[in-house]
Amino acid sequence: MAHVIGEPIDRIDGHAKVTGKAVYAADAKTQKLAFGAIATATIAYGEITSIDASEARRQPGVLMVMTHENAPEQAPWVPKAEDPFARPKPQLDSKKIQYFGQPVALVVAETFEAAREAAALIQITYLANKGAFDIEAPDREIKDPKTDVVGKPAASKIGDIDTAMRTAAVTVDSTYKTPYQNHNMMEPHASTAEWTGNMLTVRSAVQLVESAHQCIATTLKVPPDQVEVIAEFIGGGFGGKLPVYGDAILAALAARELKRPVKVVLTRQQMFHVTTHRGASIQRVRLAATQDGTLTGIAHESVAQTARADDFVEPIVAPTRSLYAAPNRLTAQQTVVLDLPIPGSMRAPGEAIGLLALEQAIDELAVKLDKDPIELRLKNEPKEDPEKHIPFSTRNLVACLQQGAERFGWNKRSAKPGANKQGQWLVGMGVAAAIRGNILRKAEAKVTMNSATSATVEMDMTDIGTGSYTIFAQIAAEILDIPLEGVTVKLGHSSYPITPGSGGSFGASSCGAALLDACKKLKARLDKHEGPQGLSAMGRVEPGDEYKKFAQFAYGAHFAEVGVDADTGEVRLRRMLGVFDAGRILNAKTARSQMIGGMIWGVSSALFENQEVDTRYGSFVNVDLANYHVPVHADVPAVEAIALKVFDEHANALGSKGVGELGICGAGAAVSNAIYNACGARVREYPITLDKVLPALG
């Protein structure tokens, strides 16, 4: 048997992508294709009082203008659902405006340019109501949700944190703020819809094909078997393509009305309002410890934005519940209802911003104790999950910290801020731990033998740039004992076997385990047949008791070295290392790419990203990549990621865990801690821009 699982195989879809043969949602070409452009609201809260589209309709090439006055009937919005991404998403169904940038009209024309020009000519008047846009406003509406977005309790309490804080030898009580952020994937949200009789085909940039399939069918009030959703290639998602947006629904509605295919693509500017974003947060972390560094209490409380239009409770405090031991514990999550666009999941929702606070607070405690921050973390390593009181499936955080320290040269770090000056630069090192919940979802996969040396894999799983095509080919090739080039992987069609899709770092393990099951079943059948051609098998997987008996997490340790300009306060990342326990690695090359990508995003969260809200009007103001800053190559000179060799037998049959989101968890805190070590600036409001560093430089 050829052993290819885990090998650094090049992406099998790479050639198609670099030669332009990979068909993305906006690339679909079909006869008589028309182009749609969305017009969006210019108020944040209120209603439309009049809409005049007469001039737009008179423009050359315009085929239709759809508004709330003539939009076809659709299923109504459902506030709560077991699968929130499969709910109806009616468009232009009301004159009510719930957020700035909400779609209010669709113009369809013979050309993209004509549609855009006509959309700008629609005259709309509004009645604007007073909205709530400031997460820190004195009169803000605060909610105490019972559960977070994944159904876990929003709050937990063990022991007495107040007494622990009052009697502790050393304490930390700090507040941290994280800003609004936008996904800004390379590919904009896009959909191309075409009806053939009663059959609708929608090519759309969606991460969850089955959820999109159900959403579109339900919204349009058509049977699901009359809808096919296709998402073969997706140019990045990061959670921003979990829901269905107006592009898909409006394209389908317009295509049915016009009886011809319609393509709708969001502009980069529209992506900041029409789609979801990461909500801003205010977090308070309290730590109580003995003089030798033993934690006696941990409290982590957060307040984050939710929308009036739809509730979203990001699990910000979730990582605090399992990362360190302490007898007295408190976590709590509140939301502030604002009339802003709906927030949603964004790469490592919860952990990404929760660890920005917790892991900086741990560093603050280490400074107060005059203790090495790695030693402090090792001292408070739990023997079991501190709140569930069940064993960990695997727990290699200690190994990640120790191996990372040795590789990074942590022993050369000076504990005193400002002690290492190289020319104009003050140089410092920082460390932070990473933890990310490991998830297994129900999935199916089908494998068919084409010949003795070739097979076809089918599932509706998506590849959002993570390497899904490649790792599934590796699994099939190894288990069926056929050449890698003999495996054809077909993904992203709703007619294929149902999977959970790409999200939550559950895709590779869930779908890979289902595929492993299918291949083993097929292999057993092959042993009993002479001619393999045409033989097929279905594989399935779903979470069982292992996810109740064991606490399932992936882990990591981040090490960062930064330089701070002694005169200007400018921060420059000099190098960074991440060491991770993500179970069995399915492809060393794509996994490393995912972990490094997450780490870079962590750097971005620490130093760059900030989606500014104009609290007068409820709009995001920096809605393009010129003003919404993300790192470029010069900002990340040397980033390396290493995965430990681990097999988690309790996670799934492959022994793997998710890696896509692990890399961002804690990465930004390592940078902030390095900044403090470099110059003594303890900045608790992200991003850490030079104006926040300068006061510490005297």
Residue type, 134: D
Side chain identity at 510, as an amino acid letter? S
**CA 562 distance to own-chain centroid:** 26
Q: Cα angle at 500 between 499 and 503, to 5 degrees?
A: 140
Residue type, 432: A
For residues 247 and 106, what is the distance between their CA atoms, to the nearest angstrom? 9
- CA distance linking residue 130 with residue 475, whole number of Å: 56
Phi, psi angles (nearest 5°) of residue 498: -80, 135
- Which residues face 281 on adjacent strands? 178, 304
Structure tokens at 273: 């309002």
Q: Which helix (H) or strand (E) holds 549?
A: helix 546-549
CA distances from 515 to 7, 442, 454, 536 (A): 18, 12, 15, 12
CA dihedral 243, 245, 247, 252 (to 10 degrees): 80
The rounded distance, in Å, linking the Cα atoms of 519 and 449 is 10
Q: In what order do the strands lie in the sheet with 536-541?
A: 487-491, 454-459, 443-451, 536-541
Residue with tokens 């949602």: 25
Provide the 3-class DSSP secondary structure of residue 480: helix
Residue whose C-alpha is closest to residue 618's, from 308, 236, 394, 333: 308
Retrieve residue 475's tokens: 């699994």
Q: Would you call 232 a catalytic residue per the annotation?
A: no
What's the one-letter identity of residue 318? Answer: A
Phi-psi region of 522 (alpha: psi -120 to 50; beta: other; left: phi over 0): alpha
What's the DSSP call for residue 272? G
Q: Catalogue the long-range contacts made by 591-597 (C-beta closer than 8 Å, 24 or more residues apart).
A: 591/643, 591/659, 592/8, 592/641, 592/643, 593/467, 594/466, 594/467, 594/659, 594/660, 594/663, 595/556, 595/641, 595/643, 595/659, 595/662, 595/663, 596/639, 596/640, 596/641, 596/663, 597/663
Q: Which of 187, 228, 364, 661 is catalytic?
A: 661
Distance CA 687, CA 351 (A): 17
- Enter the DSSP assignment of 147: B
Q: Tell me the residue type at 504.
A: G
171 burial level (CB within 10 Å; 0-12, 13-18, 19+):
middle
Q: Which of 281, 430, 438 is nearest to 366 (CA)?
A: 430
The total of other beta-carbon atoms located within 10 Å of residue 255's CB is: 26
Length reported for the chain = 698
Contact 464, 237 (CB under 8 A): yes
What separation, in Å, do the N-terminal and C-terminal C-alpha atoms of the chain show? Answer: 65
| Residues with catalytic roles | 661
